[in-house]
Structure 1
Amino acid sequence: MDINVTELIKGAIAATAKRFGDEKIVTAEDMIPHMRTVHGDAYYPQKYIENVQYAASEDARMDIYFPDEQTGTCPVFVEVHGGAWYFGQKSSIEFKPFLYGLKKGYVCVSLGYTLAPKATYPQPVIEIKQAIDYLKKHAAEYNIDPARIVLWGGSAGAHLAALATYSTDTGYLDEQHTLDSSVKMLVLWYGCHNYYLGKQLDSWVYQNFFAEKDLRKVAQQIVLSNPGCHVTKDAPFTLLQHGLNDMVVPYEQSVYLYDIIKTIAGEERCVLDLVEQCDHADRKLFAEENVAKMFEIIESKLEK
């Protein structure tokens, strides 16, 4: 099947913009990494550092946003954007609602990572590990608390965030434990975690991510890419949210991961919130009411 990637990206971006009601804010060009060098949108704060390179790849960069008032070290909210592992960018429209965290005293970070097919599995996962490790090693420089890092991911970003974090203890992709990618808390929205569970994304998405047309040849990699395979009793507290009407990634994906965490780490280490009349990347999830609820849960867990 021939795929017009440009048109596919434009279609996905248009759908996302429509869902958020911001058709005039985001264009296809906005979502291409590094095309936007100046934030002209009023919702971005003035106190930020752009394009901080945290790993060797040119695309491994982060934007760091600081609250207006800082008293002591700040907790950190880190976003890993979605996009089927092959499109999307940091500081996009998806990130906008999470700047709510600035009002709560959080430093908010949006991660960019190398996308497929330029980078294939497992490089994006390793880059997320490197990003968390970078923030910890530069905690004093950015006045952040390395013990209070919250990692959020949506869709493919949820998969990357979960795998990068849960595998910290198992040593997967970092056998020498040279990277500290542990976090205090994970927030996973509508994540695609288990390739073999229920309705799958189109095969070409995985072929693109794993750089292999015949997915049977990378079956072992696919199994190991499942975050559920790496959950230990020391897994961080995890909040999962998923729409019951998700037509892209079935909500059973989040139920599956929740059941694993509950069984291995304990029921007190996870919360599953299934949202009625809610589709994939639904604006209902990104509404301030839900984001505020998410931060309430985060704050209750960070203090423990």
Structure 2
Amino acid sequence: MPYVLLALGILFVLLAANAHAPRRHAALLVPSFFAGWLTIELAPHLLVAEIVALALTAAYGGLDGWAGWTGLALGILGAAGTAATIVAARRTVVSLRESGAPLDLDPEGAPRYPLAHLFLPPLCLIPRRGVRVDRNIVFRQEGRLRLKLDVYRPAESASDTSGTSGKDLRPGLMQIHGGAWVIGDKREQGLPLLNHMAVQGWVCFNVNYRLSPRATWPEHLIDLKHFVAWYREQAEEYGADPDFLCVTGGSAGGHLTAMVALTANVPEFQPGFEDVDTSVQGAVPFYGVYDFVEAGPWPVPMGATPLLQRMVLKLPFEENREAYAKASPVTYVREDAPPFFVIHGSRDSLLPVEEARRFVRRLRETSKAPVIYAEMKGGQHAFDVFPSYRTARVVEGVERYLTGLHRQYRQGTAPEVPGEVTASLEEPTVG
């Protein structure tokens, strides 16, 4: 039993160390990410499990020898590291405030994220009270191709939308799942955000798209443009305003979110429906990749990775740099870009945080619309999949930001946020 306690102590220290300094070596990248992701975003649950495991092992003879005492010391050190990640997560509100996110937009009466979901994360899979979910609605069908979406909307507005006037139509939100363009599904991601937005009166669409290697870029983006065209025609059936749509998504979904927002009405990406308006009124990409051509924080350009060359674009990078540039959101940054709220974790081990920083720099240099950047101190990649404390606060911040955009749209005023968000990334706007 002493050696069991020693093994537990070593494990807990390694988990804490990896959470605070993720490994980016190629051989350790994936296991380091998963270990850090679970440790950071489920830190309170892990801390309880560590304390219980140490206590039980010690009580059943774990301290009978030097190995047990060493394991206990290491275990306490590891638990302290886990506690430190909880403290970092509690700084999320500070990070959001320093970014300029309007957290106090509706301070009175705004529903908070349910505490029950923080204690029991699987509850986020169940629609929240007051939310109706319509699943597997086909939005694109061509031959054997059938692309589906799920709709999250307020339950009280779902029963009858036949007499809805334009003034009563609700804002729409499009959610794009991640998964490196090759895996993922609408049932797996964005659920904490979509449930909260629906409670707050939004009509949300969790959208699927074709995945590689069966799909070749830009078919992923074209599918999402088809959704925007479908939304223009069908939004009112679900009580949504066809003229107001924002877009969000994480990881590959963050890349696609930025592409949807920045390539409005580009004919190449909407073949056969070039005349449809595919513009959106706001974008919230989470931990995305925005430049396939310039290496920046990468050892090599993202486009030079086997994933993109063999499975997504299916073109050699060096001979086809222009094609990779055309797949990069940074290429389409322009003066009339919609408002952006870019979110990234400071300890993201899959997509380094510098990727977001340089994209925000380009947006702020060029776009006339407001650009908010929130860097989540201690946050890993895909942090919002779990309904953690960090997720709850970010979800609330995103809702208030998007609700502000919608209010300004209804009032006919240009989007604006507090002036401090125009500060450079070297200033304290990075939380």
Q: What range describes the TM-score normalised by the shorter chain of this pair?
A: 0.7 to 0.9
CA contact (8 A) 2:261 2:279 kept: yes
Kindly indicate whether the alpha-carbon contact (under 8 Å) linking 2:263 and 2:332 is maintained by their aligned counterparts in 1. yes
Give the TM-score normalised by the residue count of structure 2.
0.59
Q: Which position in structure 1 is the counterpart of 2:289?
A: 192
**Aligned with residue 95 of structure 1, among 180, 183, 191:** 191
Determine if the alignment matches structure 1 residue 211 to structure 2 residue 314: yes
8 Å contact kept, 1:129–1:179? no
2:269 counterpart SS class: coil
Alignment deviations for residues 102-152 of structure 1 (CA, whole Å, 9 cap, x no partner): 110011210111100010100001111111111111122222112321100
Larger Rg: 2
1:179 corresponding residue in structure 2: 276
Residue 259 of structure 1 corresponds to: 361
CA distance in 1, matches of 2:265, 2:358: 21
Counterpart residue number, 1:293: 397
Shift in Å, 1:301:
1.7
Mark the CA change 1:291 to 1:65 in structure 2 (over 3 Å): closer, same or farther: same
Distance 1:48 1:12, change over 3 A: farther
CA 1:16–1:228 in structure 2 vs 1: closer, same or farther (change >3 Å)? same
Aligned counterpart, 2:344? 242
Given the superposition, is the C-alpha separation of residues 281 and 140 from structure 1 closer, same or farther in structure 2, using an over 3 Å criterion?
A: same
Q: Give the residue type in structure 2 aligned to 1:118.
A: R
TM alignment of 1:127-206, pairs within 5 A? 127-174=223-270, 177-195=274-292, 196=294, 197-199=296-298, 203-206=305-308
Q: Output the amino acid matched with 2:138.
A: Q
- Report the more deviating stretch, 86-95 or 107-116: 86-95
Give the letter aligned to residue 79 of structure 1. Q
Q: CA deviation at 1:258?
A: 1.4
Give 1:236 deviation, angstroms: 0.8
Structure 2 segments unaligned to the other structure (5+ residues): 1-29, 46-123, 158-163, 409-431
Q: CA deviation at 1:204?
A: 2.2
Partner of 1:224: 326
1:277 to 375, 378, 397: 378
Once residues 240 and 88 of structure 1 are traced to their aligned partners in structure 2, the CA distance between those partners, rounded to angstroms, is: 21
> In 1, Cα distance between the equivalents of 2:396 and 2:172?
16
Following the alignment from structure 1 to structure 2, what is the Cα–Cα distance between the partners of residues 129 and 87?
19
CA contact (8 A) 2:154 2:198 kept: yes
Shift of 1:240: 0.2
Aligned partner of 1:64 in structure 2 is 151
Q: TM-score, normalised by structure 1?
A: 0.81
What are the superposed Cα offsets for residues 271-300 of structure 1, whole Å, 9 maximum, x if unpaired? 111121111112468621210011111111
Give yes or no for the alignment of 1:47 onto 2:132: yes
What is the rounded CA distance, in whole Å, between the counterparts of 1:130 and 1:141 in structure 2?
17
Does the Cα contact within 8 Å between 1:261 and 1:269 map onto a contact in 2?
Answer: no
Distance in 1 (alpha carbons) for counterparts of 2:40 and 2:217: 29
Relative to structure 1, the CA distance from residue 18 to residue 272 in structure 2 (aligned partners, 3 Å threshold; closer, same or farther) is: same
What amino acid is the match of 1:229? T
Show the counterpart of 2:53: none
Identity over aligned pairs, percent:
21
1:41–1:253 CA distance, 2 compared to 1 (3 A): closer
The range that moved more, 188-197 or 45-54, is 45-54
In the alignment, the residues of structure 1 paired with residue 330 and residue 389 of structure 2 have an alpha-carbon distance, to the nearest angstrom, of 24
Count of residue pairs the alignment pairs up? 280
Structure (1/2) with the larger helix percentage: 2
User: In the TM superposition, what whole-angstrom CA distance separates every residue of 1:39-75 from its partner, at most 9, and x where no partner exists?
Assistant: x953367722222222236352111122123382111
Residue type of the alignment partner of 1:287: T
1:29 corresponds to: none
User: Residue 81 of structure 1: CA displacement?
Assistant: 0.6
Map Cα deviations across residues 10-47 of structure 1 (whole Å, 9 max, x no partner). Answer: 999998777765x9xxxxxxxxxxxxxxxx95336772
Pair 1:205–1:138, CA change in 2 (3 A): same
